[in-house]
Amino acid sequence: MTHISNIPANFKASGVSITGLRKSYGSNEVLKGIDLEVKPGEVVCLIGPSGSGKSTLLRCVNLLEKPNEGKIHVGGFETTDPDVDLDKMRQNVGMVFQQFNLFPHLTVTQNCTVAQTKVLKRPAAQAKEVAQKNLDRVGLGAFGDRYPDELSGGQQQRVAIARALSMDPTLMLFDEPTSALDPETVGEVLAIMRSLAKAGMTMLVVTHEMSFAKEVADRVIFMDGGVVVEEGIAQDVIGNPQQPRTKDFLKRVLDPTHVEIDT
């Protein structure tokens, strides 16, 4: 089992508030008016079938995708304001990708220090210290001199989390962080996310890991076809869904060997 050191609590936290969010690619409307609230310190999981728009929604929060309509507030920033300093906003919002997106030409430590020194202008020694602290936190303190391609998928994703944490974010976005992983390495990544949640990190997580969502999330939001179909306390939405679409989706995900196909 992966060793994860004890995590000091008290992250600074900022919430997210989204109203009337719409996003289209050409004539294909992917998000059809989303309202969503994440309170500081809250852990919210976005679930739903592929193509439901949940990843697009997540990517709109830090403006990797530009919304067509609607307002998004993250911490003190209105990210949809054309005059907002996006770089400043993004310094506070950590993002973890499905494909890790570690910088392959930099060592593990450099992956964690490059933005600290170039963006936050921290002195090299301090950046290294912060990187080491966060690599310790994800159980990879001894791997600082390795290159990403020398690590397993699970280890790479843990480095990606440490890289994001090294910026001292007040909000973390996770875009299907375990979907590209070998099954045996999923657990180590989820363990770190669980410990972050316990430590009070504000998290918005797109995931297919229902047991994780049920156990760790404060709230779960089920999306389908670009709209929020159902949302509520995690145990309720996953344990006792009300909407037929939610029920159908959960049945397929939780018991895939007994899905019936209409012929």
Interface ranges with other proteins (CB under 8 A)? 62, 64, 87-88, 90-91, 93-95, 97, 99, 101-105, 114-115, 118-120, 147-149, 160, 163-164, 167
174: β partners: 96, 205
Measured from the CB of residue 91, what is the shortest distance to other proteins in angstroms? 4
Q: Toward other proteins, which CB reaches closer, 163 or 219? A: 163
Measured from the CB of residue 6, what is the shortest distance to other proteins in angstroms? 26
Q: Toward other proteins, which CB reaches closer, 34 or 93? A: 93
> Which position has the token pair 């509520």?
232
Pick from 214, 251, 250, 249: which is nearest to 234 by CA? 214
Question: What's the longest Cα–Cα distance across the chain?
Answer: 64
Measured from the CB of residue 231, what is the shortest distance to other proteins in angstroms? 26
Specify whether the CB–CB gap between 114 and 121 falls below 8 A. no
Q: Toward other proteins, which CB reaches closer, 156 or 246? A: 156
Specify whether the CB–CB gap between 30 and 23 falls below 8 A. yes
Measured from the CB of residue 33, what is the shortest distance to other proteins in angstroms? 25
List, edge to edge, every strand of the sheet that includes 43-47: 93-96, 171-175, 203-206, 43-47, 219-224, 227-233
The first and second tokens of residue 246, run together, are 């939610």
Q: Toward other proteins, which CB reaches closer, 140 or 172? A: 172
